[in-house]
C-alpha cells in the first residue's frame, strides 16, 4: 500500500538488511568486476548514494540496495547479470523508480541494476509504425520522437513524463487512454532481454506475429521477475485526426455512474472515461485551482478521438447522454490548451490529496464496470463506519478504482485504520469478480492478497513460468508471489547458445 510521506511502515523492509555480514562481503567482492563492466562512474557503493535508491514510488517500503550499477548497454546488463548469477547474488532492475507497488524495491543483499542511462530511441520505422528504444527512455519521449511522423505511443500512464518504457514493460502499464487503446502488452512486439542467467535473447521479432510461444506477452507484466528488457520494439499509433474532451458535472456519483453505463451501452468507445468524487475535486481545487464546476458530487471526463466527423457526432451523443443523466454543466475542449485545463485536475489528483490529508494510501483495485455503483456505495459505507475518509479518482470506463484512503500519520492508530479500510476495499473488488490491481502491479506491496484472488494451483502454475526463466530465483525475488516455488532440477532442459552473440558484436552503437 502506498503510504506517502509516512516512514512508519518501513520496519518490515528493514528486516531484509538482517541478511548480514556474509551477504555484505559477497557483494563487496563484486565491486571490482562491476567496475570493469560499467566503469567507475557506473557503480555506486557510498551508503548515502545507495540510500537514494531505497524505494520506488511506493515510499512505505524501503531498503538500501547492497550495490547500485548503472549500465549503458545491453551487453553491460548481460555481463552484470552473469556476474550475479555466478555469485548467486539477487538482482533487481529499476527504471525511473515511479512504480507504485514496490516492484523495484531493492535488496540489501543484492544488486540494483538501474537502466536510466540507457535512454536512446534507436530507430523509428514510420511505415511499419515501430520504434526500437532502450529501457530507460521515458514513455513521453517515445511519443515525442514519433510525433514528427504523425505517430504516438498509445499507453500513457499518469507518470509518463518520467516513467521509463522498461518499467512500463515490467508492469504492463496502462493509463487513462487504455480503455480504447489497450495496455503495454498490446503495443510491444519485440523485446531484447537479459535472462536471469545473463544471456542476451530476443523475444519476438517486432512483427507481433512471431512463431512460437508468446514470450513477449508472458514477459510483459512479469514485474521484473523473468529478466531485464534491454531493447523494446513498440508499436506506434497514428495520431487521431480529432480529439475532444468533455467535462460533465453531476450532483451525485450515482448520476455520473449511470452516464458511464449509458455511454458504453450506446456503442461508443471513448479513448478515456475518468471520474472524480467531491473529495477528490476538493483536493484538486486546493492544489491546482482546476476550476471544475461548483457543487459537483462527481465530475466525468470523457475523451473522444478518431476521424473528425465521427468525433463531432460522438461528442454530441455523449453530451446528450450526460444531460439526460443529470449533468448540470458540460464543458468541451477542442484544442490542446483547453484539454490541458480539463485534465489538470484529474492528473494532479493523487498529489493534490496531500493538500487535504497529511498521508494517504492509493489502491488500484478493479471491478466489472457494472458493479461500480454498488462498490462505490460500499466504499462510502466503509468510510462512514470507520471514520476514515476516502477520495475516489478512477478510470470509470474500465472499472479501475483508485481510492485514496486518507489518514494523519501523526495520530496513533490512524495508519492501521486506513490500512484496514484499504484492505477491505480490495476484498470488495475480489468479491465482485474483479482484481487487486489494474495497473500498479503486485510487487512487494500486494503479494499477500494474491492467495485471495488465486488458488494454490494457479499460483503454482504461474511460477512454472518463473522456474523456466529463473530457476535459481535470483531475478527480483520476493515480488508478486507470497510463497516462492522451489523449481528443482528438471531433466532434459536444454539451453541453446542464443543467436545474438554475433549480432551483439555488430551493434553499431
* Binding to other proteins, residues 220-279 (CB under 8 A): 220-222, 231, 233, 238, 240-241, 261, 264-265, 267, 269
Grid cell in block for residue 377: 456505495
CB of 257 to other proteins, least distance (A): 12
Residue 352 to residues 28, 297, 357, 380, 497, Cα–Cα distance (Å)? 42, 18, 9, 20, 51
Task: Report how far residue 330's alpha carbon sits from residue 250's, in angstroms, rounded to the nearest whole number.
Answer: 9
Give the range of 106-114, 345-353, 363-371, 405-413 binding other proteins by CB under 8 A: 363-371
Contact with other proteins (CB under 8 A) among 16, 83, 436, 475: 436
Q: Can you spell out the DSSP letters for 191-249? A: EEEE-TTS-EEEES-SSS--SSS-HHHHHTTSTTSS-EEEEEEEE-EEPPSEEEEEEEE
Work out the angle between the directed axes of helices 372-386 and 253-265 (0-180°, nearest 10).
Answer: 160
Of 1 and 352, the one with the shorter C-beta distance to other proteins is 1
Of 6 and 447, the one with the shorter C-beta distance to other proteins is 447
Per rule CB under 8 A, count of chain residues that contact other proteins: 109
Task: Report how far residue 361's alpha carbon sits from residue 54's, in angstroms, rounded to the nearest whole number.
Answer: 19
CB of 358 to other proteins, least distance (A): 29
Of 101 and 138, the one with the shorter C-beta distance to other proteins is 101
Name the DSSP class of 404: E
Of 108 and 401, the one with the shorter C-beta distance to other proteins is 401
**126 binds other proteins, rule: CB under 8 A:** yes
Contact with other proteins (CB under 8 A) among 25, 457, 486, 505: 457
Grid cell in block for residue 4: 506517502
Task: Report how far residue 196's alpha carbon sits from residue 219's, in angstroms, rounded to the nearest whole number.
Answer: 12
Of 132 and 417, the one with the shorter C-beta distance to other proteins is 132
Residue 364 CA to its chain's centroid (Å): 10
Grid cell in block for residue 395: 478510470
Binding mask 283-322 for other proteins (x = CB under 8 A): -----------------------xxxxx--x---------
Maximum C-alpha span of the chain: 69
CB of 207 to other proteins, least distance (A): 4
Of 26 and 462, the one with the shorter C-beta distance to other proteins is 462
CB of 241 to other proteins, least distance (A): 4
Contact with other proteins (CB under 8 A) among 33, 117, 129, 319: 129
Of 8 and 213, the one with the shorter C-beta distance to other proteins is 213
Residue 345 to residues 24, 173, 264, Cα–Cα distance (Å)? 46, 21, 24
**507 binds other proteins, rule: CB under 8 A:** yes
CB of 24 to other proteins, least distance (A): 33
- Residues 379 to 398 in contact with other proteins, rule: CB under 8 A: 395, 398
Spatial neighbors of 123 by CB under 8 A, at least 6 apart, are 131, 132
Give the range of 75-83, 274-282, 331-339, 431-439 binding other proteins by CB under 8 A: 431-439
Contact with other proteins (CB under 8 A) among 140, 288, 380, 459: 459
Whether the Cβ atoms of residue 175 and residue 158 lie closer than 8 Å to each other: yes
Amino acid at each position: 500500500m502506498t503510504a506517502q510521506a509516512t516512514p512508519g511502515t518501513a520496519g518490515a523492509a528493514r528486516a531484509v538488511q538482517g541478511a548480514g555480514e556474509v551477504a555484505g562481503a559477497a557483494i563487496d567482492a563484486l565491486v571490482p568486476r562491476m567496475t570493469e563492466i560499467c566503469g567507475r562512474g557506473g557503480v555506486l557503493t557510498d551508503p548515502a548514494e545507495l540510500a537514494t535508491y531505497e524505494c520506488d514510488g511506493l515510499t512505505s517500503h524501503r531498503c538500501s540496495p547492497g550495490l547500485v550499477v548503472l549500465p549503458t548497454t545491453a551487453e553491460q546488463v548481460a555481463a552484470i547479470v552473469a556476474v550475479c548469477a555466478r555469485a548467486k547474488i539477487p538482482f533487481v532492475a529499476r527504471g525511473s523508480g515511479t512504480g507504485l507497488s514496490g516492484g523495484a524495491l531493492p535488496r540489501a543483499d543484492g544488486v540494483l541494476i538501474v537502466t536510466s542511462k540507457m535512454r536512446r530511441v534507436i530507430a523509428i520505422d514510420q511505415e511499419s509504425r515501430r520504434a526500437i528504444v532502450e529501457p530507460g527512455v521515458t514513455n513521453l519521449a517515445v511519443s515525442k520522437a514519433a510525433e514528427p511522423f504523425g505517430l504516438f505511443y498509445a499507453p500513457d500512464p499518469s507518470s509518463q513524463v518520467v516513467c521509463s518504457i522498461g518499467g512500463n514493460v515490467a508492469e504492463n502499464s496502462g493509463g487513462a487512454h487504455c480503455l480504447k487503446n489497450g495496455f503495454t502488452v498490446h503495443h510491444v512486439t519485440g523485446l531484447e532481454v537479459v535472462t536471469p542467467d545473463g544471456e542476451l535473447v530476443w523475444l519476438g521479432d517486432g512483427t507481433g506475429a512471431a512463431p512460437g510461444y508468446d514470450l513477449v506477452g508472458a514477459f510483459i507484466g512479469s514485474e521484473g521477475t523473468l529478466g531485464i528488457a534491454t531493447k523494446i520494439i513498440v508499436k506506434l499509433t497514428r495520431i487521431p485526426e480529432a480529439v475532444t474532451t468533455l467535462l460533465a458535472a453531476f450532483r451525485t456519483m450515482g448520476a455520473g455512474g449511470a452516464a458511464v453505463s449509458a455511454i458504453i451501452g450506446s456503442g461508443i468507445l471513448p479513448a478515456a472515461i475518468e471520474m472524480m468524487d467531491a473529495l477528490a475535486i476538493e483536493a484538486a481545487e486546493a492544489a491546482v485551482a482546476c476550476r471544475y464546476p461548483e457543487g459537483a458530487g462527481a465530475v466525468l471526463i470523457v475523451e473522444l478521438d478518431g476521424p473528425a466527423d465521427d468525433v463531432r457526432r460522438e461528442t454530441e451523443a455523449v453530451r446528450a447522454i450526460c444531460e439526460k443523466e443529470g449533468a448540470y454543466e458540460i464543458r468541451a475542449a477542442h484544442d490542446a490548451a483547453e484539454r490541458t485545463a480539463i485534465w489538470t485536475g484529474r492528473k494532479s489528483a493523487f498529489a493534490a490529496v496531500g493538500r487535504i490529508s497529511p498521508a494517504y494510501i492509493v489502491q488500484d483495485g478493479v471491478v466489472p464496470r457494472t458493479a461500480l455503483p454498488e462498490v462505490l456505495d460500499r466504499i462510502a459505507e466503509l468510510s462512514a463506519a470507520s471514520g476514515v475518509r476516502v477520495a475516489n479518482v478512477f478510470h470509470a470506463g474500465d472499472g479501475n478504482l483508485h481510492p485514496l484512503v486518507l489518514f494523519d500519520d501523526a495520530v496513533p492508530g490512524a495508519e492501521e485504520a486506513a490500512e484496514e479500510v484499504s484492505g477491505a476495499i480490495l476484498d470488495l473488488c475480489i468479491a465482485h469478480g474483479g482484481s487487486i490491481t489494474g495497473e500498479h502491479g503486485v510487487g512487494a506491496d500486494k503479494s499477500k492478497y494474491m492467495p485471495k484472488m488465486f488458488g494454490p494451483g494457479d499460483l503454482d502454475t504461474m511460477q512454472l513460468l518463473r522456474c523456466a526463466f529463473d530457476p535459481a530465483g535470483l531475478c527480483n525475488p520476493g515480488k508478486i508471489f507470497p510463497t516462492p516455488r522451489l523449481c528443482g532440477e528438471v531433466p532434459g532442459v536444454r539451453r541453446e547458445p542464443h543467436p545474438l552473440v554475433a549480432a551483439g558484436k555488430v551493434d553499431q552503437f
